[in-house]
Amino acid sequence: MHRLENKVAVITGAAGDIGTATALRLVSEGAKVVLADINKEGVERAVS
């Protein structure tokens, strides 16, 4: 079982390197992640 299963995290500044890395780590731990940033293309890149 993942440590963060059934948890939700909101990452602001998700288009940046730190935000993207944080989101990936949280997802790997089982969290559902919401990404937010004013840089739409960067968030789309982070999602892919």
Helices (H), the chain: 17-28, 40-47
pLDDT of residue 2: 87
For residue 1, pLDDT over 80 is answered with: no
In a domain? residue 40: yes
In a domain? residue 23: yes
In a domain? residue 37: yes
C-alpha 27/C-alpha 10 separation (Å) is 11
pLDDT of residue 11: 97
pLDDT of residue 3: 93
In a domain? residue 3: no
For residue 5, pLDDT over 80 is answered with: yes
**pTM (2 d.p.):** 0.86
C-alpha 14/C-alpha 21 separation (Å) is 9
In a domain? residue 1: no
Domain membership of residue 23 as a residue range? 8-47
In a domain? residue 42: yes
pLDDT in tens, 19-44: 999 999 999 999 999 999 999 999 99
Q: Which residues touch 13 (CB under 8 Å, ≥6 apart)?
A: 19, 36, 37
Residue type, position 1, single letter: M
Q: How many domains does the chain have?
A: 1
